[in-house]
């Protein structure tokens, strides 16, 4: 035990004296998790809570366009600002940039009469179908023209999915306006009286309600947020980034000749390897503690959602240990194969970024192209992310994370065996 | 009869199956209590032999005994008997001399109190007490070499292998190291030493072996060898037996 104690003490002392490595292991992930969560949180807020600035250039003078704008406003997605109707399309898009509006909509001149004509025509058709005749004359002023289209201008940075939902909202408002016109025309054709407002509202707004409920494995109905996704994701990234420090530590021992000296001592070299793994596993768990504590205690004070830990803390500890051990095994593997510090640092850092990218840390796995889905499965970070997601986003327990833990354990076994084979070839075992 | 410090019989070694043979049917022994110098040009096989005797390399065939124990079959107990001072400073520069000695002492088989006591003693003897807690990375070459030596002897080995222990060391440190090695030998430690400082070797070694192309070309006490080959110094003897041509590998 004294040998193991001195070996762990040696590793800790070396680590604590390397300020740059400490910064990479603790400061960098802390900054990353705060910055990325803030960015994603504001993005989510913009979509979920805030209204999107929209410019509306109404070139129509009738009431249908006003009703259309009113319908758009009621959807609640947009912060509508009406512009001077005389603006050209070019002037309108320029105004978009100066006013930071992501979307602009033009309602063409003649929108109301065209819509009214369409409504009266549809009404006449419907009444004829029923063998009835309407009372009022059809306004033929726009008879030869199609309803002029509403145009939407958008900032190209707008994600396609978001653009499609804006388009859906516009169509919904347009449908509402058209339905209203048809309803009014139908009523006017059949009666001398005006359609009462209350009846009109009842007919137009009588929609079935769609309730949306998040469903987690534990049966809870918590809504996932940027914190619940980003804190575990960037913690995994931080855990794997220790490969830079660990692999250079191994290479240093190799090139300085300490490996050879240890080989001449009456203690198994495996103990040195074990002590290293134990020390760095402790570091990864410390990273979990630090980053999760930030999520719990700091985030609410800087306007970010508080991190809510899963109910099963034992499962969380097991997943953290498995992910940490996987990261440590990768660091040892790179260290024993790398021939120089430069190789270890370069390959270690770049490979972790690539594995994080294909593993769903930087971009969520569901948003990745189909072609990358198979590749994603070779990244140990993907399996770590899956295990953490099961706990944090789906409220899972140990039974639920086993499916992700098993591939992690297989990866650990492969990396450990590969490292031991290399050390054997180097005559150190 | 007491077993020799080193006894090598019919040793064969090559680094890989398709590489050249480094040592072939090699026989060699060092008596207990000697200050034995192993010399030869670059690529002669000195470091390979040192690595074989310390168990870093495994022989293809043959037998290596250290104090009567086979290094291959009795590896763990043999490793307690010797110390090794490599040419490069094989230590942890981020740690202080005391911390290095604490780690290597434990790994050499000492307990906590033995390590503590021996650390204090060695730092004192080798003039490192005043920098006991400073990181080795800040030390001069000579100071690093003294720490390197201290690590090799912390467990009071019966045999000490030294691979060019004074390379790149200032005169004062070299003098201190040689003086300490003589004291160790006087206390019963067998020294097996390689160096390119032949004048230093003349003053230290009681027995000398010249090795070239994996073979012992001369082995005896220095005065006898000088007389046999009509030379007045180790350098002349070295050149007369290994030639003047470059041995660039």
CA distance A294 to chain B (A): 31
Chain B interface, best mutation among A264, A270, A272, A276, by max B CB count within 10 A: A264
pLDDT grade for A139, boundaries at 50, 70 and 90: low
Inter-residue contact A104 to A56 (CB < 8 Å): yes
| pLDDT at A141 (0 to 100) | 54
Return the bridge partners of A80, or none.
A54
* Angle value at C-alpha B14, between B11 and B20, nearest 5 degrees: 125
CA distance A258 to chain B (A): 5
| pLDDT at B191 (0 to 100) | 93
| pLDDT at B201 (0 to 100) | 81
Residue of chain B with shortest Cα separation from A18? B94
pLDDT grade for A207, boundaries at 50, 70 and 90: low
| For the ranges A95-104, A121-130, B150-159, the one whose mean pLDDT is highest | B150-159
| For the ranges A89-98, A260-269, A330-339, A369-378, the one whose mean pLDDT is highest | A330-339
Does B106 contact A257 at a Cβ distance shorter than 8 Å?
Answer: no
What is the b/e burial string over A155-180, where b = at least 16 CB atoms within 10 angstroms of the residue's CB? eeeeeeeebeebeebbeebbebbbeb
CA distance B243 to chain A (A): 32
> Containing H/E element for B85?
strand B82-85
pLDDT grade for A398, boundaries at 50, 70 and 90: confident
| pLDDT at A96 (0 to 100) | 84
| pLDDT at B24 (0 to 100) | 83
The residue-averaged pLDDT of A76-93 equals 87
Of residues A324 and B245, more confidently modeled? A324
pLDDT above 80 (res A238): yes
A426 three-state secondary structure: coil
Q: Tokens for B179? A: 């003086």
Inter-residue contact A428 to A259 (CB < 8 Å): yes
Q: Tokens for A377? A: 């499965």
Assign 3-class secondary structure to B140-187: CHHHHHHHHHHHHHCCCCCEEEEECCCCCCCHHHHHHHHHHHHHHHHC
A&B contacts, CB < 8 Å: 78
Computed from CA positions of residues A97, A98, A102, A108, in that sequence, does the dihedral angle turn out positive or negative?
negative
Does B92 contact A261 at a Cβ distance shorter than 8 Å?
Answer: no
A366 three-state secondary structure: helix
Residue pLDDT, tens place only, B184-217: 999 999 999 888 777 788 888 888 888 888 888 8
Of residues A303 and A365, more confidently modeled? A303
Among A392, A231, A303, CA closest to A45: A303
Of residues A211 and B181, more confidently modeled? B181
pLDDT grade for A42, boundaries at 50, 70 and 90: confident
**Number of residues assigned to chain A:** 429
CA distance B169 to chain A (A): 18
A429 and B CB contact within 8 Å: no
Computed from CA positions of residues B45, B50, B56, B59, in that sequence, does the dihedral angle turn out positive or negative?
positive
A163 and B CB contact within 8 Å: no
Q: What percent of chain A has pLDDT over 90?
A: 31
Of residues B15 and A281, more confidently modeled? A281
CA distance B65 to chain A (A): 15
Does B76 contact A265 at a Cβ distance shorter than 8 Å?
Answer: no
Report yes or no for ipTM above 0.85: yes
Inter-residue contact A234 to A32 (CB < 8 Å): yes
CA distance B79 to chain A (A): 5
pLDDT above 80 (res A194): no
| pLDDT at A47 (0 to 100) | 60
Residue pLDDT, tens place only, A46-74: 666 667 888 999 999 888 889 889 888 88
A296 and B CB contact within 8 Å: no
| pLDDT at A353 (0 to 100) | 92
Q: Which of B77, B79, B86 sits opposite A260 (nearest CB)?
A: B86
Helix pair B141-153, B112-125: axis angle to 10 deg: 140
A9 and B CB contact within 8 Å: yes
Helical ranges in chain B per DSSP H: 46-53, 75-79, 97-107, 112-125, 141-153, 171-186, 198-204, 222-228, 234-242
Inter-residue contact A305 to A226 (CB < 8 Å): yes
A211 and B CB contact within 8 Å: no
Does B86 contact A257 at a Cβ distance shorter than 8 Å?
Answer: yes
The residues of chain B scoring below 50 in pLDDT are: none
Does A263 contact B58 at a Cβ distance shorter than 8 Å?
Answer: no
pLDDT grade for A415, boundaries at 50, 70 and 90: very high
pLDDT grade for A191, boundaries at 50, 70 and 90: confident
B8 three-state secondary structure: strand
A341 and B CB contact within 8 Å: no
| pLDDT at A325 (0 to 100) | 96
CA distance A288 to chain B (A): 27
pTM for the model: 0.75
A104 three-state secondary structure: strand
Does A256 contact B90 at a Cβ distance shorter than 8 Å?
Answer: yes
Residue of chain B with shortest Cα separation from A269? B107
| pLDDT at A394 (0 to 100) | 78
- Between A140-154, A175-189, A386-400, A402-416, the lowest mean confidence (pLDDT) is in A140-154
- Between A179-183, A289-293, B30-34, B123-127, the lowest mean confidence (pLDDT) is in A179-183
Residue of chain B with shortest Cα separation from A272? B107
| For the ranges A1-10, A85-94, A159-168, A190-199, the one whose mean pLDDT is highest | A1-10
Does A264 contact B91 at a Cβ distance shorter than 8 Å?
Answer: no
**Distance, CA of A332 to CA of B35 (rounded, Å):** 41
| pLDDT at B247 (0 to 100) | 65
Q: What percent of chain A has pLDDT over 70?
A: 88
Does A264 contact B135 at a Cβ distance shorter than 8 Å?
Answer: no
What is the b/e burial string over A284-310, where b = at least 16 CB atoms within 10 angstroms of the residue's CB? bbebbebbbebbeeebeeeebbebbeb
Does B109 contact A257 at a Cβ distance shorter than 8 Å?
Answer: no
What's B12's DSSP letter? E
Bridge pairing between strands A151-154 and A103-107: antiparallel
**Distance, CA of A260 to CA of B237 (rounded, Å):** 32
């Amino acid at each position: 035990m004294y040998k193991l104690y001195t070996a762990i003490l040696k590793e800790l002392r070396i680590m604590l004296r390397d300020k740059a490595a400490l910064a990479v292991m603790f400061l960098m992930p802390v900054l990353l998790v705060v910055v990325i969560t803030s960015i994603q949180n504001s993005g989510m807020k913009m979509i979920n809570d805030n209204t999107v600035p929209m410019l509306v250039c109404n070139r129509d003078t009738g009431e249908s366009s006003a009703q259309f704008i009113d319908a758009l406003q009621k959807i609640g997605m947009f912060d509508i600002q009406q512009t001077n109707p005389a603006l050209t399309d070019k002037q309108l898009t320029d105004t978009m940039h100066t006013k930071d509006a992501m979307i602009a909509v033009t309602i063409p001149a003649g929108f109301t009469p065209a819509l009214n004509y369409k409504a009266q025509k549809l009404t006449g058709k419907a009444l004829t179908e029923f063998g009835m005749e309407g009372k009022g004359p059809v306004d033929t002023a726009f008879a030869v023209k199609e309803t002029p289209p509403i145009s939407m201008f958008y900032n190209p940075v707008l994600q396609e999915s978001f653009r499609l939902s804006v388009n859906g909202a516009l169509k919904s408002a347009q449908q509402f306006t058209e339905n209203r016109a048809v309803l009014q025309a139908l009523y006017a054709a059949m009666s001398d009286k005006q359609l009462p407002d209350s009846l009109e509202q009842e007919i137009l707004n009588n929609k079935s309600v769609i309730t949306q409920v998040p469903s987690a494995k534990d049966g809870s109905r918590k809504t996932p947020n940027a914190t619940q996704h980003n804190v575990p994701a960037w913690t995994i990234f931080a855990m794997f980034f220790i490969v830079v420090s660990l692999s250079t530590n191994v290479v240093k021992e190799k090139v300085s000749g300490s490996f050879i000296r240890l080989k001449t001592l009456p203690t198994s070299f495996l103990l040195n390897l074990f002590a290293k793994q134990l020390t760095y596993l402790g570091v990864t768990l410390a990273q979990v503690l630090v980053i999760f504590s930030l999520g719990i205690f700091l985030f609410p004070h800087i306007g970010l959602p508080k991190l809510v830990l899963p109910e099963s803390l034992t499962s969380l500890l097991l997943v953290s240990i498995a992910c940490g051990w996987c990261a440590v095994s990768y660091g040892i593997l790179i260290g024993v194969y790398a021939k120089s510090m430069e190789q270890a640092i370069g390959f270690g850092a770049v490979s972790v970024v690539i594995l994080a990218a294909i593993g769903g840390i930087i971009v969520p796995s569901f948003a990745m192209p189909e072609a990358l889905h198979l590749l994603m499965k070779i990244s140990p970070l993907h399996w770590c992310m899956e295990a953490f997601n099961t706990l944090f986003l789906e409220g899972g327990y140990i039974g639920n994370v086993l499916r992700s833990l098993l591939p992690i354990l297989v990866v650990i076994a492969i990396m450990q065996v590969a490292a031991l084979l290399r050390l054997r070839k180097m005559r150190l075992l | 009869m007491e077993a020799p410090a080193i006894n090598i019989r019919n040793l064969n070694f090559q680094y890989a199956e398709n590489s050249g043979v480094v040592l072939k049917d090699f026989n060699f022994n060092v008596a207990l209590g000697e200050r034995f110098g192993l010399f030869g040009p670059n690529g002669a096989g000195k470091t390979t032999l040192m690595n074989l005797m310390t168990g870093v390399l495994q022989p293809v065939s043959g037998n290596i005994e250290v104090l009567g124990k086979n290094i291959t079959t009795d590896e763990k107990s043999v490793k307690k008997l010797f110390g090794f001072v490599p040419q490069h400073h094989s230590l942890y520069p981020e740690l202080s001399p005391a911390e290095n000695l604490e780690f290597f002492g434990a790994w050499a088989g000492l307990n906590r109190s033995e390590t503590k006591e021996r650390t204090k003693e060695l730092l004192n003897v080798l003039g490192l007490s005043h920098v006991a807690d400073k990181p080795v990375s800040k030390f001069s070459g000579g100071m690093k070499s003294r720490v390197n030596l201290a690590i090799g002897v912390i467990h009071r080995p019966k045999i000490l292998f030294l691979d060019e222990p004074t390379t790149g060391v200032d005169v004062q440190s070299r003098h201190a190291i040689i003086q300490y090695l003589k004291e160790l030998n006087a206390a019963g430690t067998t020294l097996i030493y390689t160096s390119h400082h032949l004048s230093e070797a003349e003053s230290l070694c009681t027995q000398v072996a010249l090795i070239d192309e994996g073979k012992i070309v001369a082995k005896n006490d220095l005065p006898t060898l000088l007389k046999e080959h009509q030379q007045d110094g180790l350098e002349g003897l070295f050149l007369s037996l290994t030639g003047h041509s470059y041995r660039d590998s």
